Structure 1
């Protein structure tokens, strides 16, 4: 079968790459054409039609400024799908783009699978109508999403969370070897995961590193995003701030704690059993707009959303200060707060179910 897959972000690249592996196990003759990143490229053996680094625009203002590019990409994608004529179109999150493509592809009679739901339960709930009209199979990875769709008369399949698959494949690591390979010193590590987009990373790193003078017994190590060149991080690096590229899971497993920008990384950090503080700040205009369109959502991190209670502290916008970062980081480095968080991470894994999300998703895709 011929599969056309669209993933517009780093997390989508990860999950889509694992899905491609599962599809190949069940359909060895599978042919892929895709929008994504380096992980999908490794599976396919050839590059994407478009790399996600050229697609990801963050915030209302950035989207508005790049609307011409976005519209050109949509037009190009439609023409490409029409020429390729896939048996199945697999859309991975990225709703602003993918829902437009779903509507177009439905008109061509192509089977449409949506893998990893957009966060319609947080905002733009009206988009469920498009899911109902244009999507043949909705595959969700968060337990509460199945009930959300049922409320809107859409049958969704909860396949489990693919991060459990990705993390289960991680091999044991020797901390001392990791430090030696990356020219790190003997101090314990505090990992910094500041995001994947240039403007976001700059803003987050300046805030995260503001606590450095208070933690001289630790070394801070930045997890480099694959979408940004090594040179970009040079302004942040010094004798006690280091940089590691393309080894985020290894870095986390060698760390005592982490400061993490909201997103999939918050869940990855928790599933790797590393205590964390969630950090988020956007432009004031984007934040004010966001507050008005996001509804009935108490948390921004996936960890807290899934558990429906605060497991990890979220420092958002004006709360993200050096003083608060200092306080929360001290709290999770030792003592009962750290132990409580690690216990809650065990409950989180139980709630997400077992491994096999990618295989379950592939079974549903191939069934039809």
Structure 2
């Protein structure tokens, strides 16, 4: 079997790599060619183009790089025709992948989509075209199955969320590494600090609050200063910022000056979450990752007034957090735009840290969330099995 897989972002590379591993288990002789990243390549696929060459975010950046995007589309089509795959598997990344899907369908290529674009939030009109050019849709959020069936008369398959297995694997790996120096309560302050930082800047065994302010400079500059101001209310806590992979240390150094109980880590977000008592998290996938680690969290969103007003009119969802969307209720507090203030963060953190009833309810909701997302096994294995069955039958 010959598979051509396209993922255009880091998250797609991660989930694509796990899908490739599972496809290889079912068919060791499978030939896989991909657009993705280092993880998909390591899993056994031949990498054609790295996602770093594809990641253009925001209207202005897309317009500026339109020539590159069009050349990538042309090259991708030529490469698919030359490879002659049995199926084309597209992972999220809708701006590029939906164009390829429409073209591939006209070429008679079987198109499978894994991880649906979030059309239920915005650009809903895309669904009409998706139905005509996608042969099999695999979704990872439980409400998406009913959304497509009830609103669009389209039967899609829910396979669970691939983050469940990712978090489980990372938790086990981190715990195993740390077992050599004992559990958290047994470790000395210096051992605990060393496990979180690349330097000696963290202080000693105080309760830890993780700060996850996002990955792009614009969003970090909007949210992190508010989070840092909130740290002043809690001198007995250690606040630790999870740095984004693409940002330089110097960028954070300037922001963190003047906050004695704040430190930062690079490339250790999951280790940080495993050791945190609470977290302040920017809206996005990180809210779900934090919940799967069982960490009480406050969800934070703040953008420019123009962006916020546009988003309010375009995005049609009750909540901004994936946790709340999946559970269809307010599980974690959302502080949005003008509500994101140091004083409100102070109140919410006090609730998370010192209200036993709130912590118990969160723990119960997190458990239900994990069961819902991991229903019937790991998503990658279920997706791979579904793909093979579909192609064989």
TM-score normalized with structure 1 length: 0.91
Matched, 1:33 2:53: no
Number of equivalent positions: 366
Moved more, 341-350 or 170-179: 170-179
Distance 2:216 2:289 in 1: 18
Matched, 1:273 2:294: yes
Distance 1:37 1:202 in 2: 28
Distance 2:351 2:67 in 1: 46
Moved more, 74-83 or 89-98: 74-83
Q: How does 1:295-310 map to 2 (within 5 A)?
A: 295=316, 297-310=317-330
> Which of 162, 184, 189 is the matching residue for 2:208?
189
Aligned to 2:333: 313
* Alignment RMSD (CA, Å): 2.3
Distance 1:73 1:283 in 2: 32
Distance 2:251 2:51 in 1: 19
1:61–1:286: 8 Å Cα contact kept in structure 2? no
Distance 1:48 1:237 in 2: 40
> Which of 380, 385, 391 is the matching residue for 1:358?
380
Is the alpha carbon distance of 1:209 and 1:110 closer, same or farther for their aligned partners in structure 2, counting shifts above 3 Å? same
2:34–2:45: 8 Å Cα contact kept in structure 1? no
Deviations 1:106-152 (A, max 9, x none): 22222211111111112222211122111111001111111111121
Matched, 1:211 2:233: no
Distance 1:28 1:54 in 2: 29
1:354 is displaced (CA, Å) by 4.4
Distance 2:32 2:242 in 1: 30
> Computing the radius of gyration over CA atoms, which structure comes out larger, 1 or 2?
2
1:146–1:158: 8 Å Cα contact kept in structure 2? yes
> Which of 233, 255, 279 is the matching residue for 1:236?
255
Distance 1:318 1:145 in 2: 30
Is the alpha carbon distance of 1:54 and 1:103 closer, same or farther for their aligned partners in structure 2, counting shifts above 3 Å? closer
Is the alpha carbon distance of 1:303 and 1:131 closer, same or farther for their aligned partners in structure 2, counting shifts above 3 Å? same
Distance 1:109 1:95 in 2: 20
1:316 is displaced (CA, Å) by 1.4
Aligned to 1:4: 4
Unaligned runs of 5+ in 2: none
Unaligned runs of 5+ in 1: none
1:279 is displaced (CA, Å) by 0.8
2:33–2:46: 8 Å Cα contact kept in structure 1? no
1:233 is displaced (CA, Å) by 3.0
Aligned to 2:277: 256
Aligned to 1:322: 342
Is the alpha carbon distance of 1:214 and 1:45 closer, same or farther for their aligned partners in structure 2, counting shifts above 3 Å? farther
Q: Which stretches of structure 1, 4 residues or more, deviate above 6 A after TM superposition?
A: none
Matched, 1:293 2:314: yes
Distance 2:254 2:15 in 1: 32
